[in-house]
Chain A
Amino acid sequence: MRRAVLGVGRAAAWRIRAGAESGQQRQRSPPLSPVPAPPPPAFRFVSRPGPAGSESETVEQSPPQSPGPGKAGDAPNRRSGHVRGARVLSPPGRRAHLSSPGPSSSSEAREELRRRLRELIERSRVMIFSKSYCPHSTRVKELFSSLGVECNVLELDQVDDGAKIQEVLSEITNQKTVPNVFVNKVHVGGCDQTFQAYQSGLLQKLLEEESAYDYDLIIVGGGSGGLSCAKEAAILGKKVMVLDFVVPSPQGTSWGLGGTCVNVGCIPKKLMHQAALLGQALCDSRKFGWEYDQQVKHNWETMTKAIQNHISSLNWGYRLSLREKAVAYVNSYGEFVEHHKIKATNKKGQETYYTAAQFVIATGERPRYLGIQGDKEYCITSDDLFSLPYCPGKTLVVGASYVALECAGFLAGFGLDVTVMVRSILLRGFDQEMAEKVGSYMEQHGVKFLRKFIPVMIQQLEKGSPGKLKVLAKSTEGTETIEGVYNTVLLAIGRDSCTRKIGLEKIGVKINEKSGKIPVNDVEQTSVPYVYAVGDILEGRPELTPVAIQSGKLLARRLFGASLEKCDYINVPTTVFTPLEYGCCGLAEEKAIEVYKKENLEIYHTLFWPLEWTVAGRENNTCYAKIICNKLDHDRVIGFHILGPNAGEVTQGFAAAMKCGLTKQLLDDTIGIHPTCGEVGNRRF
């Protein structure tokens, strides 16, 4: 809303964006001596068509846009030109008038002065350029002292280079007169404008915006959401810090920058899923004429090493891209200690304190433990699995989340003996018909399911890599207990938000006490206005990387750019990478019935047999797709579900089509691509 405020009350206010406007400045300046390029001015000039010092004219300004490359090291947060510039051209009626800081004989001295002034302005909450005898200046000083606000005052008539300063100031602000007032880096203007701003409430607003902070934005958590927000904020010219620290898992596993997705989530799991698919492809390939008769073995270490190498390169890439964008990355654990202030503790236990005007919490989640005897000691979670230095062997996967089923799926794909212990239902929250089909495919392909059991004790029988564990489990329905011996027990029973040990209570950020999740409004704002949150810790939002990336990026654009676009959490597609992939977008059938009532829905469904499966001799009547249509709204497609190879690739476009209001009629009218699985929607319903 800052933009709106600036336009109100004719206040000559301009927020200083160090370096961010340089591109435009360059573009519009007359040719300059090429080397060395003059550093971009820190301030944008504001046109004043009226006589200098007059307080009555409209201030014209253009929003920050199309920043261009500047001199390296001049302003830390800068980006190269970007296509988005085209979208945020000056709205009509606003014009930026830029001066030409052309070279002169004393240009270097002038630059030095300009730099000094900028420093003064940036470091002062209120900076008044004044003349000791000027009655207008006195009025302004009195106003601030009546508000109890301390001011930094420079009396231009009492310093040697006062005249020069006034000249440079006029270059920077297009205001030749004193007083020349800045509040929190924002150029307010002269006396009348300051009073106008006071009357309109703008001044108070500007004063509230503390500028004395180390950073414009500190992001706690360097995962998908945090990094996308950090990069975008930096692109918009902000001074940004990312605090990221991975607390080692109970088994001692830790990792680099990038968060869950990159290190212990999407990336390694999809790669292991791919490894398992390759096992299937090897079987298929014989039917397609490829000849090798030896029993092909899978080597866990080879695979894991290759995957971890890839992840390391991604970690490195993230660090590099933060550095390129001049985002400060600190590998420390962040914990709020007071308002606007966070304590960062590094690996060695050294503490550093940082302050920021705004914060984004993006700490994500970590796997949950059962809280039974032996679980933290002997069990692993998805935090450990992907970098496990040895093959897990016979494995018990506890849980029925998508993490549980995906892990069980690829482990079985490597030929391991895998059992899944399920307390109640599979894939809670997903369409249950689909979930059961996912499960039954896995069962047909060698994964064992123990339904309605929960572990009560884990005992170590043998140490080793892997060792031997005895699991005692009891029925959820009766008194029956069972015992099993496994090499590895993988817990995948859910994830807990990392929100309870980051000092949120110190600054009053509300969390859902039960779930630990952070409730936010539709602009990702928490109960404390200057604190925002993105990613898996949000209450009631999908826990997905692309969602976190999108919401982090849009949040930064709203906070620091001209954008008002909110993250759209409707019809978010996703895919479960079980051996038979399950892609979906929109509502589960149960949910659709709950919302729209059964009689208002038309559900189209079909089994299908991928062409590639025919020759491979894989089962027919297994792959399945269904769409759920709302009869009350032109048979609008409100749910899309597909179980089959490459479900993720298929689902994405359907999600885009649902964004565009896909109806059954349009589905019927669209021609299929033959022979694909994707055409199933067009041919079979």
Chain B
Amino acid sequence: GYLGDATQGCLGGRWAYGEHAGAGGADATAQLGRKVAVVDYVEPSPRGTRWGLGGTCVNVGCIPKKLMHQAALLGGLIRDAPHYGWEVAQPVPHDWRKMAEAVQNHVKSLNWGHRVQLQDRKVKYFNIKASFVDEHTVCGVAKGGKEILLSADHIIIATGGRPRYPTHIEGALEYGITSDDIFWLKESPGKTLVVGASYVALECAGFLTGIGLDATVMIRSIPLRGFDQQMSSMVIEHMASHGTQFLRGCAPSRVRRLPDGHLQVTWEDRTTGKEDTGTFDTVLWAIGRVPDTRSLNLEKAGVDTSPDTQKILVDSREGTSVPHIYAIGDVVEGRPELTPTAIMAGRLLVQRLFGGSSDLMDYDNVPTTVFTPLEYGCVGLSEEEAVARHGQEHVEVYHAHYKPLEFTVAGRDASQCYVKMVCLREPPQLVLGLHFLGPNAGEVTQGFALGIKCGASYAQVMRTVGIHPTCSEEVVKLRISKRSGLDPTVTGC
């Protein structure tokens, strides 16, 4: 077998090395001459879907979902177009195959790009499924049965997570798919039941509806747990008014394939206790993700995991229970499961290990955006969390409903376009959180996340002159507090 002697090893393509190797001062390998190997292997999904280098984000996460979200948004723009003078005969049909092919081709080009970047930086890449032999050595079997042993001074575990299957439900594993599969389907999923209330569930249901498919979301309890609940209920409200169906308070009990090939799903309405059924072409499970730690033989290296979540326990330096083994990304207990967080954590870790830096990753005020049909961007605390931490009396929430200018001519409904800023009540009213529901929420939220990082106060944000006419200017125009009880509907220019 091959015996590597890399000074640093990486397990899992989730840690997209190329992403941060280009960032200023971070390419420890190139600059510091370290010998690095990346070991990545994608276990095919139960449906048999597999993909290349780059991890979840590139292959079965952010990238394909944002592209399919964009396809759905374009559908909305096509409907807007006649209002703006474009003579397009409606309705315009959508071809899944064409979209999927385009998206998949882009993802493949990214896989290729990652490989090239690793090569350029002289990072050895092994497409093998590896597990620990001891605390300095991992082992895997290459195609053709050749066993490869790799040893390294430092090992970073970045194996990420995979969608959870509700294996206790009859037919779930057999007939259901997950986000690992949806983006790689060659044929349209047709009428789809999405089970779950995670952002993955809502995003998928959102774009499926947007490209003209019949999509239903089954939610057992609350949607977007962990997010601001007022905002998440508005997200649902918007989706419901734009064609996505919701089965609230329901839990599936079994999935069967009918003779005609359709899937019959049986569920229980938990409020009435009654059983109900429906037929679908596709059932998509989006009920959460499990960390990919079980096959790593972590016990051989002595790396501790959480008994509840199986996620790896780390300290603030991303160090595991074994001094030279680190973990970053979704596989780590208590971290936000976000690509940019993983990238930055990886970059900072490498800078600490080889660049003489002592900068720690700051996991506070991480901005994120849910790409539902009406996008929801947020940074900092939810209103509930702010109240829990500081007390109702010490929290001031400024909010506004607004109408994006582009919605006017298009005759779109803006009932759910809404922004709120959660602040401390005492001057200078530090901003604790920002929540933005509307078009381009991601673009809007990013800069304000910077502001919050700079310790923005309400007064400072209000002193910022708006950019007219944009949606983001609504943030710097927030004048109505919830406490005042005044109508937060923005009128006029």
Contact = CB atoms under 8 A, between A and B. Distances in A.
Interface residues of B, number: 96
Given A270-B469, A683-B23, A671 B409 contact: no
A290 B63 contact: no
Contacts of B338: 671, 674
Contacts of A296: 81, 86-88
Nearest to A262: B493
A264 interface: no
B449 to A, nearest CB: 6
B405 A612 contact: no
B335 to A, nearest CB: 12
Contacts of A662: 450-451, 454
B70 A288 contact: yes
Contacts of B83: 302, 306
A651 B450 CA distance: 11
Interface string A647-685: 011111111110111110011111111111111011111
B473 A546 contact: yes
Interface stretch (A104-112, A275-283, A424-432, A442-450): A275-283
A289 interface: yes
A300 B23 CA distance: 46
Contacts of A655: 447, 464-465, 467
B89 A292 contact: yes
Nearest to B454: A660
A591 interface: no
A615 B103 contact: yes
Given A279-B86, A289-B95, A653-B447, A546 B467 contact: yes
B75 interface: yes
A261 interface: yes
The DSSP consensus for interface residues of chain B is: helix
Given A288-B102, A666-B453, A656 B461 contact: yes
Interface stretch (B171-179, B278-286, B339-347): B339-347
A398 B304 CA distance: 70
A422 to B, nearest CB: 25
A673 B67 contact: no
A657 B87 contact: no
A465 to B, nearest CB: 17
A675 B63 contact: yes
B259 interface: no
A643 B344 CA distance: 25
Given A649-B443, A650-B443, A281 B24 contact: no
Interface string B97-119: 11110110010010000000000
A135 interface: no
Given A281-B77, A306-B409, A675 B62 contact: yes
Given A267-B469, A291-B92, A679 B340 contact: yes
A299 B87 contact: yes
Given A655-B465, A666-B450, A681-B446, A267 B480 contact: no
Interface in A235-281: 258, 261-262, 266-267, 270-271, 274-275, 278-279, 281
Contacts of A414: 85
Listed residue (B100, B465, B483) with the most chain A CB atoms within 10 angstroms of its CB:
B465
Q: Name, among A414, A671, A683, the residue most crowded by chain B CB atoms within 10 Å (CB to CB).
A: A671
Nearest to A391: B85
Contacts of B457: 660
B486 A652 contact: no
Interface in A611-645: 611-612, 614-615
B59 interface: no
A113 interface: no
Contact of B440 (A279, A615, A646): A646
Query: Which of A287, A544, A611, A672 is the most central at the interface, judged by chain B CB atoms within 10 Å of its CB?
Result: A672
A314 interface: yes
A297 B463 CA distance: 44
Interface in A386-443: 414
B413 interface: no
A314 B445 contact: no
A671 B84 contact: no
A123 interface: no
B154 to A, nearest CB: 23
Contacts of B263: none
A583 interface: yes
A310 interface: yes
Interface stretch (A179-187, A527-535, A567-575): A567-575
Interface in B313-351: 338-341, 343-344
Interface string B458-493: 001101111111111101100111011010000111
Interface of A: 80-84, 86, 224, 258, 261-262, 266-267, 270-271, 274-275, 278-279, 281-282, 284-285, 287-292, 294, 296-304, 306-307, 310, 314, 317-318, 321, 414, 544-547, 549-550, 568, 571-575, 583, 611-612, 614-615, 646, 648-657, 659-663, 666-679, 681-685
29 contacts: A83-B480, A274-B406, A281-B81, A282-B86, A288-B98, A289-B99, A290-B95, A303-B84, A303-B85, A304-B85, A306-B84, A310-B408, A550-B465, A611-B67, A648-B467, A652-B473, A652-B475, A652-B476, A653-B445, A656-B461, A657-B456, A660-B451, A660-B460, A666-B453, A671-B366, A672-B367, A674-B339, A675-B62, A683-B340
Given A86-B481, A282-B78, A289-B96, 16 more contacts: A83-B481, A266-B468, A278-B86, A288-B102, A306-B83, A544-B465, A546-B473, A549-B493, A611-B66, A649-B444, A651-B472, A653-B451, A662-B450, A662-B451, A673-B445, A676-B443
